[in-house]
Amino acid sequence: MDDDLAGGEGSIVVAEPASASRVRIPDRLIARRHRILAGLLVAPTAGWTLVFFVAPLILITVFSFASENLVTFNVSFGWTASNYGAFGGSLYLWTLLRSVGLSLGTTLGCAVLGLPLAYFITRQRPGVQRILLACVIVPFWTSFLVRTYSWVNLLQSGGPLDRLAQGLTGHRFEVLYTPTSIAIGIVYSYLPLMVLPIYVALERVNPDLYDVAADLGARPWRQFRRVVLPLARPGLIAGIIIVGVPAMGEYVIPEILGGGKTLMIGNIIVSEFLDVGNYPFGSALAVSLMTILMIMLFALRRVQPALEAR
């Protein structure tokens, strides 16, 4: 019987399972296939970033070390750092400090206004939340230029706010073409960018935490300071980055609401490129601004874990 089963004449042949007869693909080939597919998926985004971000950044950096004859507008690449030395002039330093001050002030203003608003939205019913979020997002459906120019009509002498101030206080409200009007425009334009990340952070919080804090005797202000603020800190930090970085190099709002009287670093850079035609110095200003922003972002990134853990 054993001989028959072993394969002799009249024996029973036991066939191997179909799965055992399949050719097994090596893990190395599978990993290689996955890398190829991942590369094909990343290629369009990587190409777009390389052409429209990395290449211009390299070009601007190269131009920042060049020099230009302002009579003939001929650019010579002598690899000089004189453009960065000229950035230390009083005009540019004061403009940079004004830009930093306006950026910090408007970011703080957006945080002060956006945090209570985001908290108020999260405390509403889901249907009301959607309506309020739509109200926050709706301004983005209108052109940025139109929204900025609308503030010219509101803030101008004899405008609605001026007449309202005269009726209530007897004093005129003339802030157009001043740093105050620029700050108002930046806060108005960037406030939704502060509200949305804070809302996302608070929307994940279990509402029972607020009830527990109230049951333990915490008054509303103490609840806000000890419960809401720590939970909203990740969204608040994200909002500070989203608002602070573009506000630092803002050009359109100072140009419209500042009327050319209050310059920010973005206006100086545009003027060097379009009005003066000094591409090397404009490039040096742009690289300097990007360097300052990168230092601020890295510093905030370093302290972010400690801030979120507090």
- Look at residue 304 and tell me if it is in a domain: yes
Our count of domains for the chain comes to 1
- Look at residue 104 and tell me if it is in a domain: yes
- Look at residue 57 and tell me if it is in a domain: no
Task: Give the structural domain span for 106.
Answer: 89-309
User: The CATH number of the domain where 224 resides is what?
Assistant: 1.10.3720.10
- Look at residue 188 and tell me if it is in a domain: yes
Helix, strand and coil content of the chain, in percent to the nearest 5, comes to 75, 0, 25
pLDDT truncated to tens, each residue of the chain (310 aa)? 445 444 445 445 444 555 444 556 667 777 788 888 888 888 999 999 999 999 999 999 999 998 887 777 788 887 888 888 887 777 788 888 889 899 999 999 999 999 999 999 998 898 999 999 999 998 888 889 999 999 999 988 888 888 888 888 888 888 888 889 999 999 999 999 999 999 999 888 877 787 787 777 778 788 888 888 888 888 998 999 999 989 988 999 999 998 877 888 888 899 888 888 889 999 999 998 898 888 888 887 777 676 666 6
- Look at residue 75 and tell me if it is in a domain: no
- Look at residue 62 and tell me if it is in a domain: no
Complete DSSP assignment for 172-229: ----TTSHHHHHHHHHHHHHHHHHHHHHHHHHTS-THHHHHHHHTT--HHHHIIIIIH
